[in-house]
Amino acid sequence: MRSAAQAARGTELTLFGPSLAMGIGVHGPTRLELGARLLGARDDTGRATLTFYELALGPARRFALTPTLALDVAALGAVSAVHVGGATGVDGIVDQRETWTARAGLAVRLEPRLGRLARLSLGVEAGSLLRAIPATFDSEAVRYRGPYAGVDFGIVITPR
C-alpha cells in the first residue's frame, strides 16, 4: 500500500493532493496497482479552481538496486470526475460545472527501506491528459489539456 502527497504541473494548471494505492502481486516483483487521488488545482490566471476525483489502474514493478534501495516503475491509466469552480459552463453546457477526463502516465520512484515493512517513496511522474476539459468563463473559452510532470513523496507499507 502506498500513501503519498503529490504535486504536478501541466500547461495551464498546478495540482496538489493526496493519493492512496494498493498493489496486488501478479508475478514476483510485478503487481497491478489500483489507486485513488484527490487533486486540487488552480489555473494560471486564477479564474478557476479545479478538483479531480480520480481512480487509476496500471502495472508496476519493483527492482532491487541494493538490499536497502529499490526502484519502482509504474504505468497508469486514470479516469477523473472534475469539478470546475468559477466556470459559467463546461463541455459546452451553460451552468454546468462537472465533467470528466482521462490520463495516461509513467511513474519512477526511488524507495529506500525504512524497516522490515516500510519504505520511503520519492518519485517523478509524467504523462498527458487524454481528454481535454473544455470550460467557459463568461464569454472566454478555455481547454485544459496536454502533458504534465510531477513529483510525489510518500510511504510504502508492504505486509509479508
How does pLDDT run across 110-138, given as a tens digit for each residue? 999 999 899 999 999 999 999 999 999 98
- Cα gap 116→45, rounded to integer Å: 46
Other CB atoms within 10 A of residue 116 CB: 7
Above pLDDT 90, what percent of the chain?
A: 87
Contact between 74 and 56 (Cβ < 8 Å): no
Res. 159 pLDDT band, cuts 50 70 90: confident
Q: Is the pLDDT of residue 160 over 80?
A: no
Other CB atoms within 10 A of residue 150 CB: 20
Contact between 59 and 28 (Cβ < 8 Å): no
Four-CA torsion 46, 147, 150, 60, nearest 10 degrees: 140
**What are the domain boundaries of the chain?**
2-157
Task: Give the pTM.
Answer: 0.91
Query: Quick one: 104 exposed, middle or buried, by C-beta within 10 A (0-12, 13-18, 19+)?
Result: middle
Amino acid at 26: V
- Cα gap 160→148, rounded to integer Å: 35
**β pairing state of 30-43 and 49-66:** antiparallel
Cross-sheet strand order for the sheet of 140-144: 93-94, 89-90, 133-137, 140-144
Name the one residue in this structure whose C-alpha cell is 486540487: 40
**3 state SS of 33:** strand
Q: Give me the CATH code for the 2-157 domain, please.
A: 2.40.160.20
